[in-house]
Structure 1
């Protein structure tokens, strides 16, 4: 991670990696926090990352260290426009679109931690730096 990052956006896999304390992700978070980057996650990504095997205490811990952004009506409409522009549709892309929309309206430079580089690049174009988890 070279260069200053103003905002870090997590998709559900980015949040899951943080919950699991993935070593690579933990090292990145040390840098993000040390440089004062704003780390955000969409409220809908929390739902996607939550399942029976998730340690609830670890989830609470991870969420206490990020800013949780609501998915407003305006954000949802903008995300739907991103999907249409990318030629994507359906529930499998819905949360990706809300993550992309949130990343695109945050102050930059912006990094998105994601497991889905291909779809996120279709949604974000080259305006957002994508980092695989």
Structure 2
């Protein structure tokens, strides 16, 4: 990675990969840790990832190592991002809130996501998407 990333935003895929100990993601997180990048998630990402099959102790451990952004009226502006990208319905609601969290973090910011195209449409060129 040529440019230092100040903030890394994990969406539900990124957080799930961390919990599952995905080797590619763990290698990326080591690099970000070594460069003192902040790890951030939106609180509603936890809602999406915490389910009956989730490894709860591992999830709780991961959450202790990230900054969790609360769901606020500010976060509700994600609806405008979703509308601007031409998305509708609940399918894109969580992705839009992850995008909104990313856009208000210190730059340069990079979301780790498997939804590369969606995140790019939601955020435009204001972020650098890192695909999982």
TM tier relative to shorter chain = over 0.9
Q: List aligned pairs for 1:107-118, cutoff 5 A.
A: 107-118=106-117
Q: TM-score, normalised by structure 2?
A: 0.96
Deviations 1:67-98 (A, max 9, x none): 1110101221x211111111111100001111
Q: Which residue number corresponds to residue 45 of structure 1?
A: 45
Query: How many angstroms does 1:11 deviate by?
Result: 0.4
Give the structure-1-normalised TM-score: 0.95
- Once residues 4 and 73 of structure 1 are traced to their aligned partners in structure 2, the CA distance between those partners, rounded to angstroms, is 30
Distance 1:102 1:54 in 2: 23
Cα root mean square deviation, aligned: 1.0
1:106 aligns with 2:111: no
For the residue of structure 2 that corresponds to 1:118, the secondary structure is: helix
* Shift in Å, 1:105: 1.1
Counterparts in 2 of 1:1-133, with a 5 A limit? 1-76=1-76, 78-133=77-132
Q: Aligned with 1:45: secondary structure?
A: helix
Distance 2:53 2:26 in 1: 20
Alignment gaps of 5+ in structure 1: none
For residues 13-56 of structure 1, the C-alpha deviation after alignment (integer angstroms, 9 at most, x for no partner) is: 00001111111111111111111111000110111112221111
1:106: how far off? 0.8
Deviates more, 1:26-35 or 1:7-16: 26-35
Aligned length: 132
